[in-house]
Structure 1
Amino acid sequence: METLTEERPPAPRVAESPPAPAARSTPVALLVAMRPSEWIKNLLVFAGLLFSQKLDQSPQVVDAAVTFVAFCAISSAGYLFNDLCDAPFDRRHPEKRRRPIASGALATPLAWGSAAVLTVIGVGVALAAVSAEVAGFVALYGVITVAYSLVIKRLVILDVMTIASLFILRVVAGAVAVEAHASQWLLLCTAMLALFLGFTKRRQEAMSEESMPAASSSVREPEATVHPAEPDAGAAGSQVTRPVLEHYSLPFLDQTVAMVTAAAIMSYAIYAVNSPLIGSRMLATAPSVLYGIFRYLYLIYDRQDTRSTAAILTRDPGMIFAGVTWVGAALAMLYVFD
């Protein structure tokens, strides 16, 4: 069993054909396609509630919870839309081919219909239970997600910056929902941490692509090429499952990760020193942030962890420890020692 103090090197990987995906019932396939494990990212909507010291105010807690539900619905709609767009490429990936839409476990018409229903639920719940402004943020999230899936995901650097903007949007929407102010340093820190997660994810994907059999053609396609809905089956050798990765080199990604790591740490430190309500006492949470960032880098670089961001954050004992201690320290500084 893995511990925090004794790490084992990763077991050597043996190239083998992945097993065929197990058959799923339609409801289960739909739930899997909605990616509930990714909803952890929507917890950012509670940042405004936490840092404004309003956890003891029931109406604000309810508004934040409803906003969280709305973002879970709209983000799941986005995942369905993205998988519908990516299905032809996912079918050529040894892992992503197991996704419900790519594998055929979830019918395409049902996926389209579910995405539409989830979009209506997300915007409608926010509009009916919180405010029109929050509903606007939820709708904007959906628009950006569609733009990302159709075009932006093929644009190097802008793809990761767009993902980071969605993290900021969650924080702003959560603050608006509880009538709190999100400080500039909090937003900057959120952006830097989101860029950190985004570029480390690209590095994981780039390493994964390199480990796949080389393509028969070494011609790099233009950065913003729009791909046909179904790849040419004749291009049998091509193993590119995320075209933008052709424009990310490992040295570039390593340098970018180093830059955003430093920026994330510095911006959080400045925010912690200048916390609007409790000042520098927020520095008590800094050790957990530092450990979490260093642990994440260790998993990506040393252990070559290929799990999703959500899986690493929720399943790795070190990351869970960092998250729990950060929440505990933040609650103590904001609500106990204030």
Structure 2
Amino acid sequence: MSERSTALLEQSGEPGRPPLPPGGSARGRRRPLSLPIGLVRTARPRQWIKNVLVGAAPAAAGELVSGQTAGQLGLVFVLFTAAASAVYLINDALDAEADRAHPAKCRRPVARGDVPVPVAYGAGALLAVASTAAAAVLCNAMTAALLTAYVVMQIAYCVRLKHVLVVDLAIVTTGFLMRAMVGGVALSIPLSRWFLITTGFGALFMVAAKRYSEAVEMEGSAGATRALLTSYTTGYLRFVWQLAAGVAVLGYCLWALEDGGSADGSLLPWRQLSMIAFILAVLRYAVFADRGAAGAPEDVVLRDRPLAVIGLAWLAIYGMAVAGL
């Protein structure tokens, strides 16, 4: 083998492949579809299920019966998904250097180099502007304002607020609450105080339970996963999710009992009966929180069969109440 061939092999690192560019690496050799696939992965498709919450307010008001309503909610789902994806793209661009040093997050497309940092910033900015502009044109000004507030708040969280005690919990909780509100705002449905209380504290319950589980799992090395966990104690996080669970149950019960019975001609007081399923769901979820196994809310709900059955039972009972059967 000639000296030139030997040098080429040493530079490329593998026989039969062309030499790498100066300062390059095997990671820099991208496949043709690595960029679009990386952009989709960075947008977190598994997280899109959270945006089903856009139907919460119309469902609570019994306004899910018409095709026009369903079509409008589908549009709102797409717009909120685009806004949330914009935040994920910008977050991963901001955290690219830190993610490369993390044992798990180093596999994220931006950290791996599949998606260049400027491209992630550009795609995130484009999605953020497009989603809010489309909301103003296709929905109403309040929907656009809510989406804009969500994007600004989440970017502020990525840049700074995720490092501020308690504020980080409030920001993530508010993100869930905004998801639940936006459907009602888009359809001009009044949001009751009980809906806001139950949804807000229910979200805080799940967020605090997730933080508590992370703190238990990573006790002694919590900062390696989420730096702020080193500033929380497991006792404090337990207190927060227990308090939030209690307020959420209280708010739901007060809403259900406000009706006063089955005087509207229903066969049974379905709204009051739905309290049983709601409380059972909270108690079942609290089992995982207490064990320190309440990770991503969507994973807990989808992987635990009894919790899924309780959720379906609640939907059936609540559907009876809305239908007045």
TM over 0.5: yes
Letter in 1 for 2:44: R
Q: 1:169 to 1:203 in 2, by over 3 A?
A: same
Provide the residue aligned with 2:5 in structure 1.
Answer: none
Q: Give the aligned residue type for 2:288.
A: L
Q: Tell me the equivalent position of 2:241.
A: 257
For residues 94 and 256 of structure 1, the distance between their equivalents in structure 2, rounded to whole angstroms, comes to 29
How far the C-alpha of 1:102 sits from its partner, in A, is 2.4
Matched, 1:166 2:175: yes
Mean CA deviation greater in 178-187 or 327-336 = 327-336
Unaligned runs of 5+ in 1: 1-22, 215-238
Q: Any unmatched runs of 5+ in structure 2?
A: 1-30
**What residue is the counterpart of 1:67 in the other structure?**
76
Instruction: Decide which of 94, 99, 102 is 2:103's aligned counterpart.
Output: 94
Structure 2 residue 57 is the aligned partner of structure 1 residue 48: yes
Q: Pick which of 91-100 and 196-205 moved more.
A: 91-100
Q: CA deviation at 1:277?
A: 12
| 8 Å CA contact 1:60, 1:177 repeated in 2 | no
SS of the residue corresponding to residue 45 of structure 1 reads helix
Provide the C-alpha distance between the structure 2 equivalents of 1:255 and 1:78, rounded to a whole number of angstroms. Answer: 30
**Residue 292 (structure 2) pairs with residue 323 (structure 1):** no
Does residue 269 (structure 1) correspond to residue 253 (structure 2)? The answer is: yes
State the shift of 1:113 in Å.
Answer: 1.8
SS in 2 for 1:60: helix
What is the SS of the residue equivalent to 2:102?
coil
Write the distance in 2 (CA, Å) between the matches of 1:158 and 1:243: 14
Deviation at 1:157, TM superposition (A): 0.8
2:207 counterpart (193, 198, 202): 198
Give the corresponding residue for 1:244: 228
1:38-77 superposed Cα distances (whole Å, 9 cap, x missing partner): 1222222212221222222232222222111111110111
Distance in 2 of aligned mates of 1:335 and 1:294: 27
Q: 1:273·1:281 contact (CA, 8 Å) conserved in 2?
A: no
Other-structure match for 2:194: 185
The CA RMSD measured in Å over matched residues stands at 2.6
C-alpha contact (below 8 Å) 2:270/2:318 kept by paired residues: no
> What percentage of residue pairs aligned between the two structures are identical?
28
State how 1:291-306 maps to structure 2 within 5 Å: 291-302=280-291, 304-305=292-293
Question: Do residues 30 (structure 1) and 39 (structure 2) align?
Answer: yes
Q: State the structure with bigger RCO (CA 8 A, min sep 6), 1 or 2.
A: 1
User: Which position in structure 1 is the counterpart of 2:19?
Assistant: none
What is the TM-score normalised by the length of structure 2?
A: 0.81
**Cα drift, residue 336 of structure 1:** 4.7
Partners in 1 of 2:134 and 2:66 — Cα distance? Answer: 21
- Between the aligned partners of 1:169 and 1:98, the Cα distance in structure 2 is 30
Given that 1:185 and 1:267 are in contact with CA atoms closer than 8 Å, whether structure 2 keeps it comes out as yes
Aligned residues: 290
CA 1:323 to 1:306, structure 2 compared with 1: closer, same or farther past 3 Å? Answer: closer
Q: Deviations over 1:243-298 (max 9, x none)?
A: 21121011111122221121121111112222699896322222332222222222
CA–CA separation in structure 1 for the residues paired with 2:184 and 2:296? 27
* Amino acid of the structure 2 residue aligned with 1:240: A
Contact 1:78 1:145 survives alignment (8 Å): yes
Aligned partners of 1:93 and 1:211: how far apart in 2? 17
Given residue 86 of structure 1, which amino acid in structure 2 is its aligned partner? D
Query: Quick check: which has more Rg, 1 or 2?
Result: 2
Any runs of at least 4 consecutive aligned residues in structure 1 with deviations exceeding 4 A, and if so which?
A: 275-280
In 2, are the aligned partners of 1:196 and 1:260 still within 8 Å (CA)? yes
Residue 314 (str. 1) matches residue 302 (str. 2): yes
Query: Quick one: structure 1 residues 32 and 333, their matched pair in 2 at CA, closer, same or farther if it must change by over 3 Å?
Result: same
- Structure (1 or 2) with the greater helix fraction: 2
